[in-house]
Structure 1
Amino acid sequence: MKKLFNNYLDTFKGLSKEVWWLALITLINRAGTMVIPFLSLYLTEDLNFSLSNVGTLMVCFGLGSVSGSWLGGKLTDTIGYYKVMVRSLLSTGVLFIALQFLDTFYALCFGIFLVMLVADMFRPAMFVALSAYSKPENKTRSVTLIRLAINLGFSAGPAIGGIIITTMGYGGLFWVDGITCILATVVLIMVLNPKKSTVLDDILVTNPVSAYNDKAFTIFLIAMFLFGVIFLQYFSTMPIYYREIHVLSELEIGLLLGANGFFIFLLEMPLIKWLENSRLSKTELMLIGATLTTSSFIILNYTTWSGILIVGMFLMTIGEMIAFPFSNAFAMERAKKGNQGEYMALYSIAFSMAHIFGHKAGMQMVDGFGFDNTWYMITIIGGFCMLLLLILRSHLKLKKSF
């Protein structure tokens, strides 16, 4: 057992202290965004908005996220990742506190859009910082550490948020969210100031290639958008499937979804370390991840046994653990030849777009065609994702041969 534990710890070795600080800042930031899981409840219960109005507000949420990712990429290439991260975190903290004082529909539409625009400027800047603070051979594991921080933050956030609502009401959420963002800013200034931090991979591109003219990257982005659409079904249509078809209780659904975070925390870093030492390319690993995630849907149609839900969740989790770190590493590697902020912004936008369309598309398919047919259609979407990744692999091999 001790040897197993030591081997697990060894998978974290070699990462720079700056990456660990960035992970801590991300953990504070993500745990602090506890308003987000409770936003729809706040809008319906506290402000008495209709479901239609809530849907419109969530569209503003998604549009703000897309706009913020794009703007964050532009600013990162212009003024640098450190300034963007500091200004984004600090402004997000102030805006979260201010958001609670908006109570009309149009004011909230603008407020939610503005909060997400400023908040998601952080993402492309953080990815570029992560690339700068990581040695080339450690980039995938650095991404994995950040993912662990995000997962821990998302796991802790709702639990803490529930306690805050019970004791302080919804208003307390906005104060705590704002204060944690400001605290994350203070930590960032103290430990990642350019005068104190060590850059391990300083990339200077004299003639940068635009990400918009990078054919391989365009194929990759479309594939990641499709992967995002299928992956997000586990957080929108799948819980309804658990409840309506397999009649699981809220506790059982919570445990099943919680197993996803537990497996990621326990297995992702050792798995990534092992796969990094394999002969498989990042594109091939993304293909494996997409295949596993897609197969987690189609298997549901071949048995009514509820145990298949655990199998499906395990397949999806392994697929996610492979696809996300290696797709992120692929994007950072590709960004070395162009405007890094622009590349990482488009990578973030691919998943923001999946959030905008994925949830709604899944719900409409379930409503119109039922669960079984929806899982077939999701499998077809996954098939297109895998086809694009095969095309990407062929395209990259052809480029190498010249």
Structure 2
Amino acid sequence: MLQKAFQRYIDSFRGFSKEIWILTLVTFINRAGTMVLPFLSKYLKEDLHFSYGQVGWVMVCFGLGSMIGSWLGGKLSDKVGFYKIMIFSLFTSGIFIFCIQFITSFIGLCLGMFVVMIVADMFRPAMYVSLGAYAKPENRTRAFTLVRLAVNLGFAAGPALGGLIIMGMGYKGLFWIDGLSCVTAILLFALLVKEKKKLPYEENKNSEEVVVKSVFKDAPFWVFLLGSYLTAMVFFQLFTTMPLYQSEWYHISEFQIGLLMSFNGLIIFFLEMPMVNYFERKNVNKLKIIILGTFLLSLSYFVLLINVWVGILVISMFLITIGEMLNFPFSNTFAMSRAPKGHEGRYMALYTMSFSLAHITSAKLGLEIIARFGYQTNWMVMGSMGLAACFSFITLNRMLLRYK
């Protein structure tokens, strides 16, 4: 029984092209070095002594830059190709991250994070389009999952190491390692992967395929974007208000906060690929999986209302982890499957922009609620928002059934 389960786990990693594996390796190197984000709110609050309001505004600028970068990355991926955008974005953002550590003023950091994120988040839609180019249609969801696996494995190593670096070197060391990882990762990609300008498939054979003249006229896609935005609003609390809550309410160290993040990454490493492979083999409705994942994300914030036992942080993190494993891989595939040929960049740009918009509003809203009403109210609001996201995806599923 155990041998059979192990064999299925190994089989779930078969069938990928060399380029997908290299892209996965590059993503891992980049994400293992991404230690700034989980500790950014703590760095601004505790090291630079910003107020909750100022931390929120820096996060707003972070999200605004991310939105603009996502749109530019998608637009330019359709115009000049994903390959050039990926190399420009990661290399330049790595240099910028080196520099951001020397900015300590409120206005300077608002502008600095805005510019860094414009450049950095041009990478995401371009990377999604590259998966469409280098992956076969039948294993595209698993290709998305493999890259997500690299992201989460990187996050499993990164925050714990980041916590140790903060204790040993201070926050400045994070910026050096993050910037260096960006530059190293993209140089490796440029050396090992050749540019591919055409997608290897002639037509989209997914059941969700739609042929429209403009993404702005694709009504079901906009309902999907609403659900994705609300889901991301809830999920991003993990990187903004959650570390502050864990530190201020339960008084746990940066290293212990990092271990909780690592717990998230390790579960995903062991379970996500077999889970996605299972659902693909059983041909389960993608939207039903997304709805279940969103519900578990919502539930993870409601359990935080039980605030008398530190172990509830582990339970909440477990629910968040299972929720994101069920939601994000299939959301990525659904977004790509809606795109007519030649419009992949625009569709993936809007998809990533929904996450960028969530960066803006999630941090600001969460921190304002905490400052005015406390953490418990914030968890109630975020849990309710997750339920609203579930309703959006249920509505989308009904719309698609009517169109068939």
Sort the TM-score into its range (normalised by shorter chain): 0.7 to 0.9
Question: Structure 2: how far apart are the matches of 1:165 and 1:303?
Answer: 27
1:28 and 1:292, CA in 2 relative to 1: closer, same or farther beyond 3 A?
A: same
Alignment of 1:206-355 (within 5 A): 209-238=213-242, 247=250, 249-250=252-253, 255-299=259-303, 309-337=313-341, 339-355=343-359
**2:366 matched residue in structure 1:** 362
**2:19 matched residue in structure 1:** 18
Contact 1:81 1:126 in 2 (8 A): yes
Question: Structure 2: how far apart are the matches of 1:296 and 1:95?
Answer: 35
Question: Structure 2: how far apart are the matches of 1:111 and 1:390?
Answer: 39
Secondary structure at 1:335 match in 2: coil
State the one-letter code of the partner of 2:117.
Answer: M
1:62 and 1:95, CA in 2 relative to 1: closer, same or farther beyond 3 A?
A: same
State the one-letter code of the partner of 1:156.
Answer: A
**2:100 matched residue in structure 1:** 99
Alignment of 1:147-158 (within 5 A): 147-158=148-159
Alignment of 1:20-39 (within 5 A): 20-39=21-40
Over residues 255-274 of structure 1, what are the superposed CA-to-partner deviations in whole Å (9 max), with x where a residue is unaligned? 54432222111111111111
Alignment of 1:114-125 (within 5 A): 114-125=115-126
Question: Structure 2: how far apart are the matches of 1:114 and 1:311?
Answer: 37
**1:201 matched residue in structure 2:** 201
1:110 and 1:312, CA in 2 relative to 1: closer, same or farther beyond 3 A?
A: closer
Question: Structure 2: how far apart are the matches of 1:5 and 1:297?
Answer: 33
1:154 and 1:306, CA in 2 relative to 1: closer, same or farther beyond 3 A?
A: closer
1:54 Cα shift? 4.0
Question: Structure 2: how far apart are the matches of 1:105 and 1:364?
Answer: 17
Contact 2:301 2:383 in 1 (8 A): yes
Contact 1:208 1:337 in 2 (8 A): no
Question: Structure 2: how far apart are the matches of 1:49 and 1:63?
Answer: 20
Over residues 118-170 of structure 1, what are the superposed CA-to-partner deviations in whole Å (9 max), with x where a residue is unaligned? 01100000000011111111111111111111112223233444555566655
State the one-letter code of the partner of 1:379.
Answer: G
- Range with bigger deviation, 153-162 or 44-53: 44-53
Over residues 233-287 of structure 1, what are the superposed CA-to-partner deviations in whole Å (9 max), with x where a residue is unaligned? 3444445665677x47447655544322221111111111111122421111111
1:305 and 1:23, CA in 2 relative to 1: closer, same or farther beyond 3 A?
A: same
- Range with bigger deviation, 25-34 or 167-176: 167-176
1:67 Cα shift? 0.9
1:34 Cα shift? 2.7
**1:176 matched residue in structure 2:** 177
Contact 1:134 1:201 in 2 (8 A): no
TM-score w.r.t. length of structure 2:
0.86
- Range with bigger deviation, 164-173 or 80-89: 164-173
**1:128 matched residue in structure 2:** 129
1:231 Cα shift? 2.1
Alignment of 1:76-91 (within 5 A): 76-91=77-92
- Range with bigger deviation, 106-115 or 210-219: 106-115
1:252 and 1:226, CA in 2 relative to 1: closer, same or farther beyond 3 A?
A: same
Question: Structure 2: how far apart are the matches of 1:253 and 1:176?
Answer: 19
Secondary structure at 2:13 match in 1: coil
Question: Structure 1: how far apart are the matches of 2:247 and 2:96?
Answer: 36
Gaps of 5+ in 2: none
Q: How large is the Cα RMSD of the aligned pairs? A: 3.1
State the one-letter code of the partner of 2:21.
Answer: W
Question: Structure 2: how far apart are the matches of 1:100 and 1:311?
Answer: 34
- Range with bigger deviation, 84-93 or 300-309: 300-309
Question: Structure 1: how far apart are the matches of 2:25 and 2:401?
Answer: 38
Question: Structure 1: how far apart are the matches of 2:314 and 2:177?
Answer: 35
1:68 and 1:396, CA in 2 relative to 1: closer, same or farther beyond 3 A?
A: same
Secondary structure at 1:336 match in 2: coil
The count of corresponding residues between Structure 1 and Structure 2 is 397
**1:392 matched residue in structure 2:** 396
1:90 Cα shift? 1.7
1:367 Cα shift? 4.6
Question: Structure 2: how far apart are the matches of 1:324 and 1:349?
Answer: 15
1:340 and 1:42, CA in 2 relative to 1: closer, same or farther beyond 3 A?
A: same
Question: Structure 2: how far apart are the matches of 1:125 and 1:336?
Answer: 16
1:181 and 1:370, CA in 2 relative to 1: closer, same or farther beyond 3 A?
A: closer
Gaps of 5+ in 1: none
1:139 and 1:252, CA in 2 relative to 1: closer, same or farther beyond 3 A?
A: same
1:173 and 1:240, CA in 2 relative to 1: closer, same or farther beyond 3 A?
A: closer
Contact 2:65 2:115 in 1 (8 A): yes
Contact 1:124 1:348 in 2 (8 A): yes
